[in-house]
């Protein structure tokens, strides 16, 4: 079957919903389809806890937000994009206020802001510690008021349709029935989120498998800055569930096995008095995660069945503050660690959290493939550079979701629907999917085993610290796993809710994205932000003040090139904290 719309959005999370709304705001005559592999309110945006950055406080300025973002990104951010982001973020957050988002308030009724890592001023708007939940609810409810927006919930996209050098739609499987449907469109927006499930320990939901990145890459749109993978310093062991940075923003302490606040020994800033007070615990995420590794090397961490941990101490904050500002943190600790942070220490370890890289886009969300746009974590615009500051991601999906939606609407308003030739491509994909459904195991290979080995290789060789030898081992392992994947089969050959088949598609996407991460990491012979090479420990602006851009060759291998970083007002400087 084939359907047609003006603009098709892949992904029903914050970026996708904001983009869909923006399309209709820009041109109410356009029709929009949102294709999501989960019901929109199960998108990963719902799990964001800490808040959304936007300059609103009297003692804060846009220039300071720009500086914090560029410095935190180790000068790899495109500064024109950062400036646009900082200017538009407060307006987007206030728009959510008007749409019904219940931001937390000060006693006099003003919107409350809290401190966040790597930022000198308090500028993070929050809704207790369930900000993503309320933000996504607000966007979803708002989208329901537009009849132009139709949804394809629980449809899994397997390929982008490309014809005559332009994105023309997608082919997707309806999860409930196994029915394959082609959806043609004048423009496509990718908003599928990140790819944290490439690693074994991650804050990311199971749905974060790099689908959009792989779809774009296979279709000919290059990926950018893929080597920069952010670890969050406070994930629960075993589950990887995030303990939000807001816990440290409200005064939590990081303690090693001796009960010592070890972050004071690292270049993360020291507590300072006055309105711009910052805590050593609120250093940027890359530096705090790297400090954990050094503590482990010194024998100062606590060994557990799920790896080494340190402790996050909230006990001194008291039950009243925790229940008012961090209720979800308390709930997570009670449900998943069987402890109460009011009276007990929380074991935490660094876990993979966010991709700074993604589908390369311009400041309007346009990719290198005409008619294809991207926004949110799947995209790299780039405002995050080598390390994203906490609470910049939620306003990013709003600002650039809106920009991508407006740009796609303009593009769709000026072109016609694809020609009949696209239908033959839909039939080709239907036949391919039919073959995939019938694939049988050759040699006993299991998809789950391949996935586990991929995750282990990425954690062991492409983690917080890397070197050329380890990265080369990861590259060889991923090539081996790709060959084994081609021989692996599935046991479930039914069409109804065939999650094993979908897991195979996801693994294929993850293998492609993992190979891009490793290729870009091997090529960047320096240490910058979240990319730390022990064999090249210094930042090298002369050679690598540039974005890595990886293109897919016809044989499936990747080709890494470099593109200049846009610098406007802030020339590269030393990255200093605690100023």
Angle CA 369–370–372, to nearest 5: 70
Distances from the Cα of 86 to the Cα of 54, 79, 163, 257, angstroms: 7, 10, 37, 39
How many of the other CB atoms lie within 10 Å of CB of 413? 16
> What is the DSSP code (8-state) at residue 569?
S
Token reading at 274: 């006055």
Contacts of 455 (CB under 8 A, 6+ apart): 197, 198, 199, 200
Q: Which of 248, 484, 515, 547 is catalytic?
A: 248
Token pair 């005409």 is at which residue? Answer: 370
Rounded distance between C-alpha atoms, residue 288 and residue 247, angstroms: 14
Rounded distance between C-alpha atoms, residue 323 and residue 420, angstroms: 59
Helix or strand holding residue 68 (H, E): helix 62-72
Contacts of 164 (CB under 8 A, 6+ apart): none
> What is the DSSP code (8-state) at residue 5?
E
Helix or strand holding residue 541 (H, E): helix 541-544
- Diameter of the chain by CA atoms? 69
Output the CA torsion sign for 538, 542, 548, 554.
Answer: negative
Q: Which of 151, 197, 232, 484 is catalytic?
A: 232
Angle CA 122–125–127, to nearest 5: 135
Note if 232 is an active site residue: yes
> What is the DSSP code (8-state) at residue 11?
-
Picking from 501, 541, 502, the residue whose alpha carbon sits closest to that of residue 524 is: 541
Cis peptide before 568 (omega within 30 of 0): no
Task: Output b/e per residue, 282-297; b: 16+ Cβ within 10 A.
Answer: bbbbbbbbbbbbebbe
Note if 248 is an active site residue: yes
Contacts of 574 (CB under 8 A, 6+ apart): none
Rounded distance between C-alpha atoms, residue 136 and residue 193, angstroms: 14
Picking from 396, 386, 392, 378, the residue whose alpha carbon sits closest to that of residue 287 is: 386
Which residues are marked as active site? 232, 248
């Amino acid at each position: 079957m084939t359907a047609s719309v003006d603009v098709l959005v892949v992904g029903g999370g914050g970026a996708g919903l904001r983009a869909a709304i923006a399309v209709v705001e820009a041109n109410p005559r356009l029709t929009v389809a949102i294709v999501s592999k989960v019901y929109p309110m199960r998108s990963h945006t719902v799990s964001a806890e800490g808040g959304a950055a936007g300059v609103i406080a009297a003692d804060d300025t846009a220039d300071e937000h720009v500086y914090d973002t560029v410095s935190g990104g180790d000068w790899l951010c495109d500064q024109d994009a950062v400036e646009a982001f900082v200017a538009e973020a407060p307006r987007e957050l206030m728009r959510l206020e008007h749409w019904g988002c219940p931001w937390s308030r000060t006693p006099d009724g003003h919107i409350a802001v809290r401190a966040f890592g790597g930022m000198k001023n308090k500028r993070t708007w929050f809704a207790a510690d369930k900000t993503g939940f309320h933000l996504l609810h607000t966007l979803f409810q708002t989208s329901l008021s537009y009849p132009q927006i139709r949804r394809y919930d629980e449809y899994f996209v397997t390929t982008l349709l490309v014809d005559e050098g332009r994105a023309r739609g997608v082919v997707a499987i309806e999860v409930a029935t196994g029915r394959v449907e082609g959806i043609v469109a004048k423009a496509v927006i990718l908003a599928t989120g990140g790819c944290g499930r490439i690693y074994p320990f991650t804050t990311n939901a199971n749905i974060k498998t790099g689908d959009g990145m792989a779809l774009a890459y296979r279709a000919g749109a290059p990926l950018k800055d893929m080597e920069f993978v952010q670890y969050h310093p406070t994930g629960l062991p075993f589950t990887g569930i995030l303990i939000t940075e807001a816990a440290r923003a409200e005064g939590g302490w990081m303690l090693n096995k001796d009960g010592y606040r070890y972050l004071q020994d690292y270049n993360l800033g020291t507590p300072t008095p006055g309105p711009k007070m910052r805590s050593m615990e609120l250093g940027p995420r890359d530096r705090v995660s790297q400090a954990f590794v050094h503590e482990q090397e010194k024998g100062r961490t606590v060994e557990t069945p799920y790896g080494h941990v340190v402790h996050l101490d909230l006990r001194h904050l008291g039950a009243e503050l925790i229940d008012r500002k961090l209720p979800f943190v308390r709930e997570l600790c009670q449900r998943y660690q069987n402890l109460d942070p009011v009276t007990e220490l929380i074991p935490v370890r660094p876990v993979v959290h966010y991709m700074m890289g993604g589908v390369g886009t311009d400041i309007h969300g346009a990719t290198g493939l005409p008619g294809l746009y991207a926004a949110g974590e799947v995209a790299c615009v780039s405002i995050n550079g080598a390390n994203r500051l906490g609470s910049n991601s939620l306003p990013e999906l709003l600002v650039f979701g809106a920009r991508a939606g407006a740009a796609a609407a303009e593009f769709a308003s000026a072109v016609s629907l694809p020609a009949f030739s696209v239908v033959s491509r839909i039939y080709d994909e239907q036949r391919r999917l039919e073959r995939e459904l019938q694939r049988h195991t050759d040699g006993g290979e299991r998809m789950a085993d391949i996935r586990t080995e991929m995750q282990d290789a990425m954690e062991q060789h492409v983690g917080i610290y890397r070197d050329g030898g380890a990265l080369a081992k990861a590259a060889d392992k991923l090539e081996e796993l790709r060959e084994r994947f081609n021989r692996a089969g599935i046991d479930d050959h039914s069409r109804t809710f065939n999650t094993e088949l979908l897991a195979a598609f996801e693994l294929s996407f993850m293998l492609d994205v993992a190979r891009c991460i490793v290729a870009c990491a091997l090529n960047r012979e320096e240490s910058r932000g979240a990319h730390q090479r022990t064999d090249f420990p210094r930042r090298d602006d002369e050679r690598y003040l540039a974005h890595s851009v990886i293109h897919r060759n016809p044989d499936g291998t990747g080709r890494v090139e470099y593109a200049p970083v846009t610098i406007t007002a802030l020339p590269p400087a030393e990255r200093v904290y605690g100023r």
